[in-house]
Chain A
Amino acid sequence: MALASEAPKESFRLSMLIYDTRYRSMTIQVVVLILVLLFVGWLADNTIQNLAAKDKDINFGFLWNRAGYDIEQQLIPYTNDSTHGRAAIIGLLNTLVVAFFGCVFATIIGVFVGVLRLSNNWLVSRLMTVYVEAFRNVPLLLWIILVFVVMSETRPQPRDFRVTDEMIASGTEPAAKMWFWDSVAVTNRGTDLPAPVLDRGLGSIDIGSVPVNLSVLLTLAVIVASVLANRALLRRARAIQEETGERPVTWWKSLAILFLPTIALLMALGFHLDYPVFKGFNFQGGISVMHSFTALVIALSLYTGAFIAEIVRAGIMAISRGQSEAAFALGLRPGRTMSLIILPQALRVIIPPLISQYLNLTKNTSLGIAVSYLDLRGTLGGITLNQTGRELECMLLMMLTYLIISLIISSLMNVFNSSVKLKER
């Protein structure tokens, strides 16, 4: 022992960098690092030289110039007089809103289908298999276009909803009718829904040129306060129950606390619904949701839902059968076994691959251009790029933005992951 550790003390020689296993891996890493840096430097240098040869530079000044084009769906105010930078933000918000709804629906679909695929009911589990295989194995772009084309080709045009005086006089029905007591119209362009409006709203304040609606803020605050108050009520009830063994009746108090303040506030603000009505060429008033948005959300959630279903199924199968047998032995029904015993444990297996599905979905929103949805790819990476000729700048900005969104999503999910991790005591 003592002899073996007593290696002959050699002085350091250069050849040891290659022949000595203690240094070799370090040498290789340093060499590779230098090569990578050189390559990156060469790319950057070449880019600058090539741009110079074309008389171009790298300049982000165009972001402050007038955009000049219009965007259909805008979550914050925008006109064609706004800047290219603002157009990019409109596009980013459109990307995020599709990604958000897509992730929510994909998760719901995925969990249901994943669980049902393991069902003992032959028909149900086979149907779910068909769904998963159909969506996983056909390119997403085709699904998006299919959903969009079906919606825009099968629904009637807005003017088919028109009711003229002659029609009323002669008693003829319009070619198409609105649904839900004349409140919802699904045309071949979009879905027109009633919009909530306030007669005596509180107005809005601008924070960094983004208007923030005070009425909405106040309503949210009231809702949060009601929920907190309700929690306090339930806590009290529990305390009383533990003390006296008798639980006071709380349901009507809960209902009152949860809903009355909000309803009172909305009445005070003059809340009512603004119904869409057909005027001129389109429905006016109400909220109009374009089919490009709907088609994108539907296709993305069905497609990603199929992948999530497989992840959920794998997560459930990873939990040993002993767990469910033990739960059955305790007398738990299958539904409760699933939701109380299996799923919480399966989550630990499910979440890491789920993160990559969320990232995929977010990046896949950039296919929206195929159905005329102006997201970040359509505004910054499409019209702005084309009208300004700043290809490199736009591409770099866009890649950076998608990178940042993805990093945010994955760090949020990692936080969630560590909170459901097996806690060792």
Chain B
Amino acid sequence: MKKSVFLGTLAATTMIAGVAAAGTLDDVKARGELICGSNTGLTGFGAPDANGNWVGFDVALCRAVAAAVLGDQNKVKFVPTTGETRFTALASGEVDILVRNSTWTYSRDNDLKLDFVAVNYYDGQGFMVKKDLGVSSAKELDGATVCIQTGTTTELNLADFFKFNNISYTPVTVQDDSEAQRQYLAGACDAYTTDASGLAAARATMADSENHVILPEIISKEPLGPVVRHGDNQWGDIVRWTFFSLLIAEEKGITKANIEEVAASTTDPEVRRMLGLEGNMGAMLGLDAGAFKNAISANGNYGEIFEANIGSATPIGLARGLNALWTQGGLQYAPPFR
């Protein structure tokens, strides 16, 4: 897995002429399949279920893009990537889009030559410890051993946090979430730190989830979102507006269940434009008129996807918080569809 990505990088940079050139849309259409870089397995965000179907909050966005572009949310292949391999996989053309709890930062945007096209989850980094450790604040972790995933922003934030607070720690740098959880549960580290959403997801899968607490400190901003290669603006716009269409759908009360009904009866001009009943918005991006309708029908609007995968009714139990619509005091806001 590891080796193949590296060899892939070398091979891709040395042998294939012009992979990074524009035209991801054409490639995907010609292939008849979207290739989406996902988690190796993070319950609620992206993981195969018991039947091997990928499900999750991030996965649903990939499916919406596949529905918009190819008209079928099942025409997606999910490629598991670790924190370390994900950007190489995207840059080398191994995947068309990366939706994997990836934080939008300045250097990833500019140095790695990637484009973050939206924020589908506003997050921050937290710490999880076992309850019986008797720790109630991250600042009490002086001298603790902390498990951290390699190749992440969280690794850098962790160093900054401990330095800023003038306390020390021992890092245990692990490769993926499952190894981090194993070491944390085995007591090889006192604390596990990653995005707070990831901690909630990890805790939900632990057999004794009530024995673990997530500490109150959120030590960073982690705007997580879908990533595409730099330079293919059309493809970036497709992903961005697919995501926005899910937000607008929630704002306008369009759900997976009522979308046909709305399409038949609505008089709202923005909704009519978005669902392809009026004008030719899809064509501007090289898509069918019904592209965004397909995207919404796939797994419902943003709110539905949130509640079905990570919302308060699920074991992960995340509140909407910052991720509520702007109309409900959150940060999720889509520009007008016109």
Contacts and interface: CB of A to CB of B under 8 A. Distances in A.
Interface string B218-236: 0000000000011100000
Interface in B145-203: 145, 150-151, 155-156, 158-160, 163, 169-175, 179, 183, 186-190
Given A49-B17, A382-B151, A72 B175 contact: no
A284 B143 contact: yes
A392 interface: yes
A230 interface: no
Contacts of B179: 372
Contacts of B108: 389
A152 interface: yes
Contact of B142 (A49, A51, A55, A280): A280
A311 B179 CA distance: 37
Contacts of B107: 387-389
Interface centre among A49, A152, A372, A374 (most CB of B within 10 A): A372
A3 B45 CA distance: 89
A192 to B, nearest CB: 12
B15 interface: yes
Contacts of A47: 13-14
Interface stretch (B18-26, B269-277, B278-286, B292-300): B18-26
B156 A50 contact: no
A372 B151 CA distance: 13
A402 interface: no
B207 to A, nearest CB: 16
Which secondary structure characterizes the binding site on chain B? Answer: mixed
A392 B145 contact: no
Contacts of A152: 183, 186, 188
B206 interface: no
A71 interface: yes
Interface string A193-204: 000000000000
A280 to B, nearest CB: 4
Given A46-B15, A157-B187, A378-B150, A56 B113 contact: yes
B87 interface: yes
Given A51-B13, A372-B172, A388-B111, A383 B151 contact: yes
A370 B176 CA distance: 10
Contact of A53 (B9, B21, B142, B163): B21
Given A80-B159, A152-B183, A392-B9, A54 B111 contact: no
Interface in A332-379: 369-370, 372, 374, 378
B171 A55 contact: no
A188 interface: yes
Contacts of A46: 14-15, 17
A386 B83 contact: yes
Given A280-B143, A369-B175, A50 B13 contact: yes
Given A46-B15, A72-B173, A395-B9, A386 B156 contact: no
A324 interface: no
Contacts of A395: 6, 9-10
Contact of B14 (A43, A56, A71, A370): A43
Contact of A389 (B83, B91, B163, B188): B91
Contacts of A50: 12-14, 16-20
A125 interface: no
Chain B interface size, as a band, is 35 or more
A189 interface: yes
A400 B330 CA distance: 51
Nearest to A381: B6
B319 interface: no
Interface residues of A, number: 41
Contacts of B322: none
A112 interface: no
Contacts of B49: none
A370 B3 CA distance: 13
Contacts of A72: 170-173
B112 interface: yes
B91 A54 contact: yes
Contact of A43 (B12, B15, B171): B15
A80 B157 CA distance: 11
A217 B163 CA distance: 33
A50 B18 CA distance: 6
Contact of A382 (B84, B170, B172): B84
A378 B173 contact: yes
Contacts of B142: 280
B144 interface: yes
Nearest to B183: A152
A71 to B, nearest CB: 7
A28 to B, nearest CB: 26
A365 B283 CA distance: 54
A277 to B, nearest CB: 12
B74 interface: no
B40 interface: no
B175 A370 contact: yes
Contacts of A179: none
A274 interface: no
Contacts of B14: 43, 46-47, 50
B170 A389 contact: no
B84 A386 contact: yes
Interface string A46-73: 1101110111100000000000111110
A282 B113 contact: no
B215 to A, nearest CB: 14
A182 interface: no
B252 to A, nearest CB: 38
A259 B168 CA distance: 40
Contact of B88 (A68, A189, A391): A391
Nearest to B5: A391
24 contacts: A43-B14, A49-B18, A50-B16, A50-B18, A53-B18, A54-B230, A55-B231, A69-B156, A72-B173, A80-B160, A189-B170, A282-B143, A282-B144, A282-B170, A369-B175, A370-B175, A372-B174, A378-B150, A387-B107, A388-B111, A389-B113, A391-B6, A391-B91, A392-B13
The 10 closest A-B pairs by CB, nearest first: A389-B112, A386-B151, A80-B159, A157-B187, A54-B20, A280-B143, A281-B144, A68-B156, A70-B171, A391-B9
Interface of B: 2, 6, 9-10, 12-21, 83-84, 87-88, 91, 107-108, 111-113, 141-145, 150-151, 155-156, 158-160, 163, 169-175, 179, 183, 186-190, 229-231
Interface of A: 43, 46-47, 49-51, 53-56, 68-72, 80, 152-153, 157, 188-189, 279-282, 284, 291, 369-370, 372, 374, 378, 382-383, 386-389, 391-392, 395
Given A50-B18, A54-B231, 15 more contacts: A43-B15, A54-B91, A56-B113, A80-B156, A80-B160, A152-B183, A188-B188, A281-B190, A369-B2, A369-B150, A383-B150, A388-B107, A389-B113, A391-B13, A395-B9
